[in-house]
Structure 1
């Protein structure tokens, strides 16, 4: 996959969207400094000095439901790359729908943004942010959200942006090929093996509703399966909160 490395940009996802008409093949767009990063639901994503900010621009096959499954591919690639840099004693887990945790704190996030019209997806930007060198101040995150952490503070390992991309890009390519060849089932199985709080009590919240129950996994679409007092709930999109945090 091609790479574009920028000194400074507002958002790597925004840059991917601007370049979508010019790039013919899959391309990683990485920034040394990102000034206006964003997360899910329009939230700000703080990118401190030395942290990782990159987007992969793809032209995926399938409609929005199929394309959304690429967030699980990205999560598996992130898990592998972080395991490589953090070492065997770090506790790394994937939090549904789009975060990766290190020692119980949020170290990375994923944001998918499609480019197209109607139900078509002409191109997709997969934005990935990782706190390699520093984490945002805890006061900067919303109440109840996971406390942010950094690779450096948690493990003492200093990792450059380039070295992290050298690990992330081939891992993403591996898991993407797995899904293209065998479908979503092996991705789902691998993701569940790394899932945070599987089998434990969690709370899923949307703008209108909140459900608490046992996290029983994800279904064939990637939706959350929650066993509540009122029965099983299948939740395609929500924010997840753990007990005590």
Structure 2
């Protein structure tokens, strides 16, 4: 079986490490961060201790995609956070090779939906002591063939195959995702976050509708107006516009 970086369309300048089993690709990226000098995708056929946002468990068995991209972007933590939107745009482009893109929406801050169900999640982690991050990990899990059971989930997990998408091996999908991510990264470098933001908003779930954002301290309801230049969620509430940097969103 060919490694993803042995495919002819693998993006130039990116490396790839493929593991049979690992606790989590995010943990593996942190262990290897000091020694890796090139942008590197770390893919595992199976994770035993995968996690999502805020430490939540993320089930990613064999035949789904479990991967982390390790970067050294030489930027502030605030700018590094823009890669969540880069990754979301890349996921949309990769998924649209296998299913009608009109079925795909992007849910702030870090989920991808197909027909309203969660098909993919994005997790960012970074490390740095000064004004710049030393490294950034972009973790991505995609339900390609299997949707795990999550009782009482607000956005029930779905799989690409289960929603009528074409079957695709995880290695092939990683090639499509890595290629799309490299393209989005070039857009970010050449045109800035404004272009990434514009592309993301074209596919934003519930844009213009009333939604609910729950932070650690309050619940905010309002009209989903936009995301701002820093990627914050902007809601039009009864008391005026609110920019929300972090929250769980419900609709």
The TM-score range, normalised by the shorter chain, is over 0.9
| CA RMSD in angstroms, aligned pairs only | 1.2
**Helix, strand or coil: the match of 1:15?**
helix
CA shift digits 1:161-211 (9 cap, x unpaired): 111011000100001011111111110100000100000010000111110
CA shift digits 1:1-42 (9 cap, x unpaired): 100000000000110110111111100000000111111111
* Distance in 2 separating the partners of 1:160 and 1:48: 13
The aligned residue for residue 229 of structure 1 is: 238
The aligned residue for residue 215 of structure 1 is: 224
* Distance in 1 separating the partners of 2:199 and 2:186: 14
The 8 Å contact of residues 48 and 135 in structure 1, kept in 2 or not, is answered as no
2:192 pairs with one of 183, 191, 202: 183
In structure 2, list runs of 5 or more residues that go unmatched.
1-13
* Distance in 2 separating the partners of 1:46 and 1:145: 16
**Helix, strand or coil: the match of 2:123?**
strand
CA shift digits 1:55-91 (9 cap, x unpaired): 0000012111100001000000000001111245x60
**Helix, strand or coil: the match of 1:107?**
strand
1:199 pairs with one of 193, 203, 208: 208
The aligned residue for residue 105 of structure 2 is: 93
The aligned residue for residue 238 of structure 1 is: 247
The 8 Å contact of residues 48 and 133 in structure 1, kept in 2 or not, is answered as no
The aligned residue for residue 121 of structure 1 is: 133
* Distance in 1 separating the partners of 2:128 and 2:32: 14
The 8 Å contact of residues 98 and 165 in structure 2, kept in 1 or not, is answered as no
> How far apart are 1:154 and its partner, in Å?
0.9
> How far apart are 1:144 and its partner, in Å?
5.6
1:75 equivalent in alignment to 2:88: yes
Higher mean C-alpha deviation, range 79-88 or range 61-70: 79-88
The 8 Å contact of residues 223 and 235 in structure 1, kept in 2 or not, is answered as yes
Number of aligned residue pairs: 238
The 8 Å contact of residues 50 and 161 in structure 1, kept in 2 or not, is answered as yes
* Distance in 2 separating the partners of 1:105 and 1:191: 18
* Distance in 1 separating the partners of 2:153 and 2:99: 26
The aligned residue for residue 132 of structure 1 is: 144
* Distance in 1 separating the partners of 2:203 and 2:109: 13
> How far apart are 1:119 and its partner, in Å?
4.2
Give me the TM-score of the superposition, normalised by structure 1.
Answer: 0.94
Give me the TM-score of the superposition, normalised by structure 2.
Answer: 0.92
1:109 equivalent in alignment to 2:141: no
In structure 1, list runs of 5 or more residues that go unmatched.
none
